[in-house]
Amino acid sequence: MPGLPAIRRCALALLLAALAPAVPAEDYAMPVRVAEAVRVTLAPQQWLAATVVSRHEAEIAAEAGGRLLSVAEIGTRVKRGEVLARIDDTFSKLKIDELTAAVAREEATLQFLHGEMRRLTRLAKQNNTAQTQLDEVASRQQAAVSELSIARTRLAEAQEQLRRHQLRAPFAGMVVERRKRGGEWVGIGDTLLRLVDTRALEAQASAPLAARRFVRPGDRLTVTSEDGTASGRVRTLVPAADARSHRLDLRVTLSGEDWSIGQTLRVAIPRALAREVLAVPRDALLLRSQGAAVFRINAEGQTERVAVTPGMASGDMIAVSGDLQPGDRVVIRGGERLRPGMAVQILSDGK
């Protein structure tokens, strides 16, 4: 047929198609995906608005006054104990030198008085010195001990003050805001930057008082965002309601690094006690004007329409009541095109 004109080739193809034997509709196997009806423990849920927050967040303030030499840039990630900012410590170092000399002086004085006390004690045993002179040296010795203790305390205070000229991270995190820049003069208590742990995140939600009966620390809850669905464990449900809203602070620990602080989420919490029910995937449920139903695949590989009554839902599963048994295969993909008695081809997950 390569030499035939295009129009004649098309006409011949249509003729051959018309003469081909038709495949009966009942012999065509509709491709579907299936899942089993199972008995699970479910509880009705309600959704709460939530926000991603960090468990560790702090505004880092100056602990000493002076000129700011350096401060970490926004976006800097630091480990616990790393230096965030440095303040000029010239005067603190001079103070330490002064107090170190004072300690040395008091130590020398005390050493001299110890020797004098030993000498007078020997003379007193020989009745060659007055008791009043011995008492005077003992008194001066006690005073010297006190003066040395005071000098050492002042030196330790100055060393601590010097240490505070370097601000270190109280926890691992990221600098998300900087209030001061190098070269500025800062006083004690001035906020220099804000440090946030961007890896220890949790969802914060406001839960009703009734949630205390159904939510416990360690429970796993469903969390949804624009990017999809995940789960997290309840870290705490604070048993102290806000006086105005009468709601409780719920914290759910989030895993992974796909979250952003301030991100809006929804958290599902149970609103009744869990109970055992027969459940199917939500995708198996067909809602029509005459009621809800699922398509079951029987032993012959054909479809049966089974009317069901939907119940509570949790995640991807929904409770149903009707002529279903645990282990029955129900269609979860392709059910919209099915009719009772049709043959189906069950697709595997890889297809």
Answer yes or no: do 138 and 188 share one domain: no
pLDDT category of residue 229 using cuts at 50, 70 and 90: confident
Q: How many domains does the chain have?
A: 4
Domain boundary among 270, 298, 325: 270
Q: Regarding beta strands 201-208 and 220-225, do their DSSP bridges make them parallel or antiparallel, or are they unpaired?
A: unpaired
**pLDDT value for 350:** 54
Answer yes or no: do 158 and 94 share one domain: yes
Answer yes or no: do 281 and 310 share one domain: yes
**pLDDT value for 9:** 55
Evaluate if residue 48 carries a pLDDT over 80.
Answer: yes
Residue 226 belongs to domain spanning? 45-55+200-270
Domain assignment of residue 313, yes or no: yes
**pLDDT value for 138:** 83
Greater confidence (249 vs 42) lies with: 249
pLDDT tens digits along 146-162: 999 999 999 999 999 99
Q: What are phi and psi of 193, to 5 degrees?
A: -160, 170
Answer yes or no: do 292 and 169 share one domain: no
Contact residues for 270 (Cβ-Cβ < 8 A; gap 6+): 43, 44, 45, 214, 215
CATH code, 97: 1.10.287
pLDDT tens digits along 49-88: 999 999 999 999 999 999 999 999 999 999 999 999 999 9
Answer yes or no: do 95 and 221 share one domain: no
pLDDT category of residue 244 using cuts at 50, 70 and 90: confident
Contact 111, 96 (CB under 8 A): no
Domain assignment of residue 107, yes or no: yes
Average pLDDT over residues 300-304: 89
- Sheet containing 185-186, strands listed edge to edge, beginning at the edge strand earlier in sequence: 166-168, 83-87, 66-71, 185-186
